[in-house]
Amino acid sequence: MEGLDLSTQIPQALDAGGQMLARHGIEDPRTEAALLLAFALKKPREYVYMEPDGYLTAEQSETYRQALEQRARRVPYAYVVGKREFMGLEFFVNRSVLIPRPDTEILVETVLRSRCEDQGSGFEGGTAQSLLDLCTGSGAVALALAVHWPELGLIMGTDISDEALGVARFNAERLGVSRVVWEKGDLWDAVGERVFDCITVNPPYISTEDYGLCAPEVRCEPRLALWGGVDGLDYYRRIAAGAGQHLKAGGKIYMEIAWNQADSVRGLLERAGFVSEVFRDLAGRDRVVAAWVGHPKMAEIQGV
């Protein structure tokens, strides 16, 4: 591997790894090298700083070398180590699924907060019975809600990709969640005639132009999970067109959006007869749109 002197002593291995990742343009090379070294040693990260006299076995050295090589090729860290933390839970990830983002925790948190606050909706008193998570990928949203909202009865997670559903099922098993039903299908096709109190979705929403600007790491992730058509809004059009048939009276749909999509997404929803509300992330950027079926008269009054 490109002149890397990978000593088996921990401090030298850390230096060599950090230098290698720096040469490949990794932003925080020493931290990432420490994380990968800890991964190879199967120890917490602090260990690599606390054991200056420690050694790597041949097997650990080889694991570290392979991890560094992948990361140098800009494979995302989460794929290299095969996991990502989301809402306090550990999810297995591989190249079949989008890596759960902190941004998406806002979606989950918004739903969890609304379950108590909403009056006159299917959520009253936190009693929503059923939840549908479209484009579930690794199952992060569906499973985080299942764990953090024990009163929730039926949960369904859907995805167009068999491989993604395999990952979601594996995560459900690992987290000990057995009450999620997984269905394969293209958006609403997976749902049949079923109706739900609550729907969540983090659809692909990156436009063609923005996809071209994505970091190499993001381009390792499934394009199918990221690219939302020329203007990034294709899935929201299909969501707005179908959500009315799949929400119970008083039910709500929560969608993750990009920071600059709130107006377009709300416009699509309003034309389809929905009332909507935007939620922001901690940096003050628009991140989630919630929508519910408006009273027909209201649409008239608002002229939409």
Query: Which residues of the shown chain bind ligand GLN in the complex (CB under 6 A)?
Result: 101, 103, 202-206, 218, 226
CA-wise closest residue to 200 among 101, 112, 273, 90: 112
Query: Measured from the CB atom, is 26 or 225 closer to ligand GLN?
Result: 225
Residue 73: CB atoms within 10 Å: 11
Enclosing H/E stretch for 249: strand 247-256
Distance of closest approach, residue 297 Cβ to ligand GLN, in angstroms: 34
Query: Measured from the CB atom, is 203 or 294 closer to ligand GLN?
Result: 203
Instruction: Name the DSSP letter for residue 5.
Output: -
CA-wise closest residue to 79 among 66, 90, 92: 92
Distance of closest approach, residue 58 Cβ to ligand GLN, in angstroms: 37
Contact 18, 30 (CB under 8 A): yes
Distance of closest approach, residue 101 Cβ to ligand GLN, in angstroms: 5
Distance of closest approach, residue 153 Cβ to ligand GLN, in angstroms: 27
Which two tokens mark 40?
Answer: 């190879």
Query: Measured from the CB atom, is 179 or 223 closer to ligand GLN?
Result: 223
Would you call 31 helix, strand, or coil by DSSP?
helix
Contact 217, 75 (CB under 8 A): yes
Distance of closest approach, residue 202 Cβ to ligand GLN, in angstroms: 5
Query: Measured from the CB atom, is 34 or 141 closer to ligand GLN?
Result: 141
Query: Measured from the CB atom, is 17 or 204 closer to ligand GLN?
Result: 204
